[in-house]
Structure formats: structure tokens, C-alpha cells
């Protein structure tokens, strides 16, 4: 059985930590099933949820909803602002929709059910660019890089992961 040197062990630990922060994820819209609905209040808006989340290229958004009564439309910024359902970029009606975020920048989604968008059933997410990979510090993109709401700090789940992995690396590497 081969024994790893301290340098090899260090490299392996850092590589595993790096992978844990760069893997693509499936993200349930709203953080719970059936979140794709008319919000009961402004604070219940999916955009409030999106502002507190981090989205990276390769992640997928997942919607769970009644496909017989609603749909998800991916639209332009103008169609999002005006709740125009007539010419979507993409339309999903299956009740279990998954959309891969394949580029950085803004993505806009509205409900295809008549009148739902006007009542607030819409979602705007910002996907971070490749240069905003996790480095231990969450850089804020410049206004020129994004349009729309500011990207919030990393979620508590990412913070928990980092708070667990850093002491693990320290323990394994004996840095302190």
C-alpha cells in the first residue's frame, strides 16, 4: 500500500476542497417544492430567495409545480418587466422543469398562467462569471458586470461547508 507524503496529502486535500466549491448543483427554486406560485407578500417573493443564493455556470434550476395549471417561461428582460408571455425564449409545462444555467449574467423567468406574472410570480437570477469562482472571499461584481439585484453573500449552507472544511484541512495538514 502506497503512503502519501505530506506534500501529496496537502495537494489532495486542497484539490478536494476546490472540487466541493466548484461542482454544479441542482437548485430547487424557492428552496422547497411547490414554491412556483403567486407570492402571498413581497417578502415571499422568489426574487428575495434568489438574492440570497449563489448561482454558478453549470448549476440547474429545478421547478416543481402542477403542469396542468401553470408553466415556466424563460423570457427576455423586457418580457419579464412587462409580463409578456407571448414570445418566450423557452416554455416548460411538465411540472418538473430543470433549466441549466449555461452562461454568466441574468436569467429571467415568468409564469405562463394568465395574470400570474402581474401578481408577482416571476424570478430573476444572476449567474456569476467564471472569474468569480469561490476563493474564500466572495467578491462583489461591478455594476457593469450585472444587471438587476445585487448578489448577496454566500448562503449559510456554503458557509457551513467552508466552516467545516477549513478546520478539517487544518487538522489534516497540521498547519496550526
Instruction: Kindly report whether the global pTM for this prediction surpasses the value 0.75.
Output: no
Measure CA of the first residue to CA of the last residue in the chain; give whole Å. 29
Question: In this predicted model, what pLDDT tens digit does every residue of 131-140 receive, in sequence order?
Answer: 655 544 444 4
> What's the pLDDT band for 130 if we cut at 50, 70, 90?
confident
> In terms of CATH, what superfamily is 21-134+141-173?
Cupredoxins -  blue copper proteins (2.60.40.420)
Residue among 49, 37, 42, 36 nearest 149 (CA): 49
| Domain spans in the chain, listed from the N-terminal domain onward | 21-134+141-173
Amino acid at each position: 500500500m502506497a503512503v502519501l507524503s505530506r506534500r501529496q496529502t496537502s495537494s489532495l486535500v486542497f484539490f478536494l476542497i476546490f472540487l466541493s466549491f466548484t461542482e454544479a448543483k441542482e437548485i430547487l427554486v424557492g428552496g422547497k417544492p411547490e414554491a412556483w406560485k403567486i407570492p402571498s407578500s413581497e417578502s415571499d417573493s422568489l426574487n428575495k430567495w434568489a438574492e440570497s443564493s449563489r448561482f454558478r455556470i453549470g448549476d440547474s434550476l429545478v421547478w416543481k409545480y402542477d403542469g396542468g395549471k401553470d408553466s415556466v417561461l424563460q423570457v427576455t428582460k423586457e418580457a419579464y418587466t412587462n409580463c409578456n408571455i407571448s414570445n418566450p425564449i423557452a416554455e416548460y409545462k411538465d411540472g418538473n422543469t430543470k433549466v441549466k444555467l449555461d452562461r454568466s449574467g441574468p436569467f429571467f423567468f415568468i409564469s405562463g398562467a394568465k395574470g400570474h406574472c402581474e401578481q408577482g410570480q416571476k424570478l430573476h437570477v444572476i449567474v456569476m462569471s467564471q472569474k468569480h469562482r469561490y476563493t474564500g472571499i466572495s467578491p462583489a461584481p461591478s455594476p457593469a458586470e450585472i444587471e438587476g439585484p445585487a448578489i448577496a453573500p454566500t448562503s449559510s449552507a456554503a458557509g457551513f461547508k467552508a466552516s467545516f472544511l477549513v478546520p478539517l484541512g487544518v487538522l489534516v495538514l497540521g498547519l496550526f
